[in-house]
Amino acid sequence: MREGTFFCIDAHTCGNPVRLVAGGYPALTGANMSQKRQYFMEHYDWIRQALMFEPRGHSMMSGSIVYPPCSEDADASILFIETSGCLPMCGHGTIGTVTAAIENAIIRPRVPGKLILDVPAGKIAIEYEQQGAKVESVKIYNVPAYLAHSEVAVQVPEMGELVVDVAYGGNYYAIIDPQKNFPGLEHFSVDQILRFSPLVRRIVDEVVECVHPDDPTVRGVSHVLWTGKPTQPGVDARNAVFYGDRAIDRSPCGTGTSARMAQWFAKGKLKVGDTFVHESIIGSLFEGRVEDVATVGSYQGIRPSVQGWARVYGHNTIWVDSEDPYAHGFEV
């Protein structure tokens, strides 16, 4: 028996997948996207599992569903679905969703080239550039970002002591800069990232408390951002962002770039108006900018923007059949 048929537009943002579910998705209950996210996780998480995990997806799969706006001044809302769960905010997901949604008339902007979107983490503004039918680039004015914890020392089995900063950019990031027991991303293999990241995340999450001052459902360190030297001229930093159980972002990571800018701002390495070009593990780039200062609870943070591009590469009708033993996916 068919549990559901989903019409998807598949895209990637700077190399990281975005599967926009454009049909077959359920209506959600809630006054805002944070409440709708909770409702989806409680009642419809099987849709996320079916569309993100193998055999219909893979460890890195990530996607979204566009909903009507929750607030009066917004054009639309986005729910993010990933192998790691339903993120409060996803930068590469937003860039891919806006690109696919504008190119396919799923979102109709009131002002051409501009959007206001409700997302679970709050409200974001978008500016996008179009050439004919194609969206060439998308700039996100993200939710406020801030440095939540500075120089937290943790003991990691087989690595020894690591000193990490924890910053919020739509998700909470443990940020690991080069130091005695971490020589930098350029000396660290993908296998090491996959092996040590879940450990670092669990240990950091045990020793610091991360709860968003405006929304207690946004909590906990979910991502680990390893940093290193850029490989290209004009780039400020390189990163590998680990999330879920096995995923390393192929894009430079929008919420990670926002968190990193908040970290640098707090440490005096960036000021309002400065740009920050971030390189991903595969060499793709996002351009960030510190747009303004912003307060988050008792924290002094920033309003970051992040600009990148996405390409749509196909349409995909996926059905989920309850007689399929792997209807809701699996992970190895």
Stretch 66-125 residues interacting with ligand PYC (CB under 6 A) = 87, 90-92
- For ligand PYC, the closer of residues 48 and 320 by Cβ is 48
Residue 230 as a binder of ligand PYC (CB under 6 A): the answer is: no
The span from the CA of 332 to the CA of 53, in Å, is 10
Q: Are 90 and 255 in contact (CB under 8 A)?
A: yes
Q: Are 316 and 11 in contact (CB under 8 A)?
A: no
Q: Are 198 and 250 in contact (CB under 8 A)?
A: no
Q: How far is the CB of 29 from ligand PYC (least distance, A)?
A: 26
Residue 106: DSSP 8-state = S
Q: How far is the CB of 222 from ligand PYC (least distance, A)?
A: 8
- For ligand PYC, the closer of residues 288 and 329 by Cβ is 288
Q: Across-strand partners of 74?
A: none
- For ligand PYC, the closer of residues 175 and 253 by Cβ is 253
Residue 35: DSSP 8-state = H
The only residue of 255, 280, 284, 305 in contact with ligand PYC, by rule CB under 6 A: 255
- For ligand PYC, the closer of residues 91 and 122 by Cβ is 91
The only residue of 249, 259, 260, 265 in contact with ligand PYC, by rule CB under 6 A: 249
Q: How far is the CB of 319 from ligand PYC (least distance, A)?
A: 26
Task: Work out the burial of residue 185: count CB atoms within 10 Å of its CB; fewer than 13 is exposed, 13-18 middle, 19 or more buried.
Answer: buried
Closest CA to 69 of 58, 82, 79: 79
Q: For tokens 């007689």, name the residue.
A: 323
The only residue of 86, 253, 261, 270 in contact with ligand PYC, by rule CB under 6 A: 253
Max Cα–Cα distance, the chain, nearest Å: 58
Active site residues: 90, 253
- For ligand PYC, the closer of residues 241 and 320 by Cβ is 241
CA dihedral 308, 32, 174, 280 (to 10 degrees): -10
Stretch that binds ligand PYC, among 27-35, 65-73, 131-139, 246-254 (CB under 6 A): 246-254
Stretch 174-193 residues interacting with ligand PYC (CB under 6 A) = none
Q: What is the DSSP string of 254-298?
A: HHHHHHHHHHHHHTTS--TT-EEEEE-TTS-EEEEEEEEEEEETT
The only residue of 228, 254, 304, 329 in contact with ligand PYC, by rule CB under 6 A: 254
Q: How far is the CB of 179 from ligand PYC (least distance, A)?
A: 24
Residues that bind ligand PYC (CB under 6 A): 87, 90-92, 243, 249, 251, 253-255
